[in-house]
Chain A
Amino acid sequence: EDQVTQSPEALRLQEGESSSLNCSYTVSGLRGLFWYRQDPGKGPEFLFTLYSAGEEKEKERLKATLTKKESFLHITAPKPEDSATYLCAVQAAYGGSQGNLIFGKGTKLSVKP
């Protein structure tokens, strides 16, 4: 069964304290792995798509990496405005869930000044 597990469920950081969020997945052939940011009461905001192991993408203080079994979202010197829930999703290439996004439960990040 295709599934995505994110850890930790919640993470509290001090401003400037770098850390990483983990997304491990089991999927019938990976077509793509997506990272989204979601603020309370809003829809998910697209951050990155990764397609193959070894791929890395960066945007401001965020860097996403991908291996064959997991992805990491590295946050360097975070600021309070980075506080949000970060969602990871995979898109399977085969099987019953082919095409749709399978989401993890998310990591709720809080950055204190």
Chain B
Amino acid sequence: KAGVTQTPRYLIKTRGQQVTLSCSPISGHRSVSWYQQTPGQGLQFLFEYFSETQRNKGNFPGRFSGRQFSNSRSEMNVSTLELGDSALYLCASSSRDISSGNTIYFGEGSWLTVV
């Protein structure tokens, strides 16, 4: 059974550009959430989607956005990139709404470097 798949794995962008990251959850999983991981702040919650609806959002500026498609695949977008957006972006999926406490599996992440 394939795990959570994230693409691309590595990318370098310039300040002011925008970036789109993609996530394919485990087959049958309908809940997808996104996290940002940095050495200083650790793992921080960005947002969660369930059945194409954003259910929860973390404390990040509006430059960070996401969406979920009918096949549960999800994308996140960061516009007007800043140097501080350099991080590992992790996608996680679970079989039910994560607010039910179900097991949450993570992908390998997308490493974003902003120069």
Contact = CB atoms under 8 A, between A and B. Distances in A.
Majority secondary structure of chain B interface residues (helix, strand, loop or mixed): strand
Nearest to B58: A100
Name A's interface SS: strand
A3 to B, nearest CB: 11
Interface residues of B, number: 27
Interface string A74-113: 0000000000000101010000011111111110000000
Interface stretch (A10-18, A19-27, A28-36, A63-71): A28-36
B109 A46 contact: no
Range, interface on chain A: 20 to 34
B52 interface: no
A47 to B, nearest CB: 10
Interface of A: 31-32, 34, 36, 41-46, 49, 51, 87, 89, 91, 97-106
